[in-house]
Chain A
Amino acid sequence: MKQFDILIVGAGIVGCAVARECALAGMHAGVIEGGVPGGGATAAGMGHVVVMDDSPAQLALTGYSRSLWQRENQTLPAAVEYETRGTVWVAADDEEMLEVESKCVAYRGAGIESAILTSRQLAEAEPNLRRGLAGGLLVPGDGVIYPPAAAGYYLSEAGRMGAELMLSRAVKAAEGVVQLANGSTIRAEKIVLAVGTECDLLPALPIEKRKGHLLITDRYPGFLRHQLVELGYLKSAHQSLEDSVAFNIQPRQTGQMLLGSSRQFGSVDPRAESEMMRRMLDRARSYMPGLAQISALRVWTGFRASTKDKLPLIGPAKGLSDDGSLWLAAGFEGLGITNAPGAARLLVDGMLGRTPEIAAEPYLPARLIEGLHV
């Protein structure tokens, strides 16, 4: 039976980032993937590296993780297509402009550079936005990447430092033993579950699927310069019950654009739904009328791993499970790309007893268990 220091189940961007951190720390790591590395939520999502302030803990984590992306963006391979495009949070009316102002203050407090744009400045920054919007908030340090290549890069770095990839689905992972669908059994001191929305290995995982729709266009270089997000995105992200859409568009290095976003609970059907598409794209078209005749190449869906408090689970599974070997890097909802490097650091800091660069308590899985002191 093969023996590792640590086994990471799931070769999405988070699992691959964890594998790299583990290898960097000198651990003999194994990565287990039943499908294609980077082929799950990593491939389905937008690839934004963005600071989000829906809670102080989220602001801290996204800010920290974004800074890790920025630290290494010069050394990432070209295939990762890292671009510091910046984000513009778009305010449709004066009420949303007030939110822009308070957002700016919150970001400043966290050391995140941002600038308020007037209606005219917004139009200059993004000429294809409709006229008459109130303004926006430019966050110049935000970035865009091509996620499958990033996952592939982390994985190859981990491999360069001795990590092994096993392409077979994990059917059981407990007490330091992982059983694979191909019949192998592997041992490790620690097991990290970085499994997206597939919770069958630990049914107690408090993760729900939130379906999202996306669309990618043909190449229209110059149509869009920054990532654009409507302020309503935050409301949509926080909704627990209703299906919702929010305007979100991202330029890719190829000149293609990714369009989103939608959120649904309770749907496990991977097929795109025309009603959600209609709502999502009506909204996009209302912000950027020129999108109407732009050619859509593909439409797909993905499932975000959502937790009750919108924060990921990073740390020992204690509280959710008595299994001392189990660790979690899960529940990243729409911020898996942004938070992958930061989460990987926090997780390994926790394993090695290193002092993390930000407080790790808000993300410990045990916080979700009532009565448990963290």
Chain B
Amino acid sequence: MKRTQVLVIGAGPAGIAAAIAAAEGGRRVMVLDDNPSAGGQIWRGGTVSGGSRSDDGGGARQRALDRLSRSGATVLSGMRVFDAQVSGVVDAVRETGSHSVVERFAFEQLILATGARERFLPFPGWTLPGVFGAGGLQALVKGGYPVKGKRIVVSGSGPLLLAVAAHLAEDGAVVSTVAEQADMGQMARFAASLWSHPGKLMQGAAYRAKLWKTAYRTGCWVSEALPAANGQGLRAVRLSDGTREWEEACDLLACGFHLVPNTEVASLLGCDFRESYVRVDGAQRTSVEGVYCAGEPTGIAGFDAALVQGEIAGLSCAGRSTEALRKRAQAEQQFQLGLEKAFALRPEIGLLARQETIVCRCEDVALGALQGRLGWTDAKLQTRCGMGPCQGRVCGPAVEHLLGWKPVSVRQPLSPVPIDAFCSNNEDELIKEKV
């Protein structure tokens, strides 16, 4: 068992900021992250050296990582937390080669910086090879998938679409269209709110500059993805603006409908929620003693919010004052509310899926099989929807949007783990491993 004072779960911007603040504040800090390298999604590191650029806004990512390593905090990559029921302890698993290793971590304070994932809403053809999440395609590109010369349509909703489209364009893809389902009026109010966030305006402008060859359409969405005749990828997507429909040729589709918070660990710990987000006070404390939460799980508010919330959480753990940051944090909270309104989903999006459209991809459960069921539990038992390895992380938000069923309570293991994770002797094996 490894012991530390402050354990941070998640090495995205919030987790990195939290770890830096806590470590510089004198605490012994350990960070657990399930990706091969630190950075989370927005600061995702390319695994290929000299390969695709990461979104580092002028080196900010590297500076943060350098500061993190100077701070004395330890980062353990490839570690996925699956249980957090025993007080003061979490269990994590690392998949290496032919077997997995389970490790237990004891802590005095815990900072949850588990980020968010994309919301996927089903539409005909969404399961075809060639259809990716928006952030998903970006992650794959950073993992070494070249998109140079590929024709890509980016669709869905949220500020992530522009960021993804800009990166894909920088990597040599031909991004023909960005289709944002929110209409101009909604967006205009969001744009107006950006005046109080000049940094974000600059970033938005920078993205738009990279996309001068791209058609940016609001009030527009993909209604169907169409397969290529040879079975490799797509030949086109069908776009709609509510009045007319047209086909646009493309190789790949990157689509995502904003983000949903990763709140599973918080839920397992028994933290109080405010709607679907973890409730925190001004010092980022949750309702559970010694447990803090920073970033997207407290409200989808983007990168700057994650940084300031992470810093507040880390300073709180170190017993330092966070007053200087409170105003900034509150401003970011306003941004979150603006985001929600600006990118609210129009009714047509919930009507794209047909009876035969798959909703649960793990178990291939179509929409038709779900309609008429009594609720989530009945659907799980009678159709296996949500009973696959993703544990409802993909179909859950879709089911909530399409059928109105709220997610049921979370249980450990929070993700699939080898049976060995529950057996004896894992600790003995680990004593031999160097920290």
Contact = CB atoms under 8 A, between A and B. Distances in A.
A39 B376 CA distance: 11
Interface in B357-410: 374-375, 377-378, 381-382, 384, 387-389, 391
Contacts of B99: 292-293
A38 interface: yes
Contacts of A215: 419, 422
A152 B382 contact: yes
A144 to B, nearest CB: 16
Contact of B424 (A278, A296, A300): A278
A53 interface: no
Interface in A259-314: 259, 271-272, 274, 277-278, 281-282, 284-285, 291-300
A186 to B, nearest CB: 20
A278 B423 contact: yes
B422 A296 contact: yes
Contacts of B228: none
Contact of A296 (B86, B374, B388, B413): B413
Nearest to B417: A296
B377 A297 contact: no
B420 A285 contact: yes
B389 A297 contact: yes
A149 B369 CA distance: 14
B422 A292 contact: no
Interface residues of B, number: 29
Interface of A is mostly: mixed
Contacts of A299: 411-413, 422
A274 B86 contact: yes
A285 B423 contact: yes
Given A36-B375, A274-B85, A295 B389 contact: yes
Contact of A300 (B375, B411, B417): B411
B350 interface: no
A284 B418 CA distance: 13
A10 interface: no
A254 B100 CA distance: 24
Given A148-B382, A293-B99, A36 B374 contact: yes
Contact of A293 (B83, B374, B420): B420
B387 A298 contact: yes
B419 A292 contact: yes
Contacts of A271: 85, 411
Contact of A167 (B86, B374, B384, B423): B374
Interface string B88-121: 0000000000111000000000000000000000
A297 B412 CA distance: 10
A292 B102 CA distance: 12
B28 to A, nearest CB: 26
A218 interface: yes
Nearest to B98: A293
A296 B412 contact: no
A37 interface: yes
Interface string A159-179: 000000001000000000000
Contacts of A285: 419-420, 423
Nearest to A294: B419
A274 B85 CA distance: 9
A217 interface: yes
Nearest to A291: B419
Interface string A89-100: 000000000000
A281 B411 contact: no
Contacts of B85: 271, 274
Interface string A29-45: 00000011111000100
Contacts of A152: 382
B381 A277 contact: no
Contact of B412 (A39, A149, A272, A281): A272
Given A278-B424, A285-B423, A298-B411, A292 B418 contact: yes
A295 B374 contact: no
A43 B384 CA distance: 12
Interface string B49-90: 000000000000000000000000000000000010110000
B319 interface: no
- Best-buried of A277, A282, A298 by chain B (most CB within 10 Å): A298
Contact of A39 (B98, B381, B391): B381
B421 interface: yes
Contacts of A296: 413, 416-419, 421-422
B381 A148 contact: yes
Contacts of B420: 285, 292-293
B89 to A, nearest CB: 10
Contacts of A149: 382
A297 B391 contact: yes
A295 B423 CA distance: 13
A317 to B, nearest CB: 30
Contacts of B389: 218, 295, 297
B376 to A, nearest CB: 9
A281 B374 contact: no
Contacts of A259: 419
Contacts of B421: 296
Contacts of B424: 278, 282
A60 to B, nearest CB: 31
Contacts of A39: 377-378, 381
- Best-buried of A36, A38, A39, A300 by chain B (most CB within 10 Å): A36
Contacts of A148: 381-382
Interface string B217-247: 0000000000000000000000000000000
A38 B381 contact: yes
B381 A36 contact: yes
A292 B377 CA distance: 30
A215 B382 CA distance: 19
19 contacts: A36-B374, A38-B382, A39-B378, A149-B382, A272-B411, A274-B85, A282-B423, A282-B424, A285-B420, A292-B423, A293-B98, A293-B418, A295-B389, A295-B419, A296-B419, A296-B421, A298-B411, A299-B412, A299-B413
Given A38-B381, A254-B384, A285-B423, 13 more contacts: A36-B381, A148-B382, A149-B382, A215-B419, A217-B419, A281-B423, A292-B423, A294-B419, A295-B417, A296-B416, A296-B418, A298-B413, A299-B413
